[in-house]
């Protein structure tokens, strides 16, 4: 049984002209990236525009690509930068100045998901997505990066251009708020 090519191998092959490698890479990351963008901007058309632009940047970077980090970190960093451009263009500057501190994080109450929502998965999803939309952009991005790209906190920090502690606090904030929206206080 052949070993499945890694993202980095595929990208390198594409850089040498292997179109099939790109297609495999695209199929592999297409849905997570699209969901990440859609849930960040909340609009399908905008998400598709950003999504297409993101992949075109990948295509155009094929010759310069070097394996310095995971492909996922690289491509989500591109997505993050594209989002920043989008936020700047739309006056959503709060994302850029929003910083959380460990002290604030420690004050957050622990929340347990309600028993009824554990049984009613559909309603739980609705409430989670609604709460996700209400999160600050940075916290939502951290949560989505963790869920969609399966990046570590360090990788999230690298992709978003912040320190690991900042990334960690954003993530914990996001989780706490989402849990709060889904249940009862523990």
Strand 111-113 and strand 183-185: the pairing is antiparallel
How many CA atoms within 13 Å lie on the side-chain side of 30?
A: 8
Measured from the CB of residue 91, what is the shortest distance to other proteins in angstroms? 25
Element (H, E) at 184: strand 183-185
172 binding other proteins? (CB under 8 A): yes
59 binding other proteins? (CB under 8 A): yes
CA 76, distance to chain mean position in Å, is: 7
- Dist CA 108 CA 31 (whole Å): 32
Q: Which is nearer to other proteins, 21 or 137 (CB)?
A: 21
Residues near other proteins, by CB under 8 A: 14, 16-19, 22-23, 26, 30-31, 34-35, 38, 44, 47-48, 51-52, 55-56, 59-60, 62-63, 113, 117, 121-122, 124-125, 128-129, 146-147, 152-154, 164, 168, 171-172, 175, 178-179, 182
């Amino acid at each position: 049984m052949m070993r499945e090519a890694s993202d980095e191998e595929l990208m390198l092959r594409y850089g040498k002209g292997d179109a099939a490698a790109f297609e495999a890479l695209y199929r592999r990351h297409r849905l997570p990236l699209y969901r990440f963008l859609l849930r960040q901007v909340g609009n399908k058309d905008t998400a598709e525009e950003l999504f297409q632009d993101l992949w075109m940047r990948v295509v155009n970077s094929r010759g310069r690509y070097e394996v310095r980090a995971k492909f996922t970190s690289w491509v989500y960093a591109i997505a993050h930068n594209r989002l920043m451009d989008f936020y700047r263009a739309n006056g959503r500057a709060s994302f850029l100045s929003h910083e959380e501190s460990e002290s604030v994080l420690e004050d957050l109450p622990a929340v347990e998901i309600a028993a009824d929502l554990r049984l009613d998965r559909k309603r739980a999803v609705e409430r989670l997505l609604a709460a996700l939309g209400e999160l600050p952009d940075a916290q939502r991005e951290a949560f989505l990066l963790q869920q969609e790209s399966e990046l570590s906190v360090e990788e999230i920090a690298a992709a978003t251009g912040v320190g690991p502690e900042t990334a960690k606090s954003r993530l914990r904030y996001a989780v706490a708020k989402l849990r709060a929206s889904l249940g009862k206080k523990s």
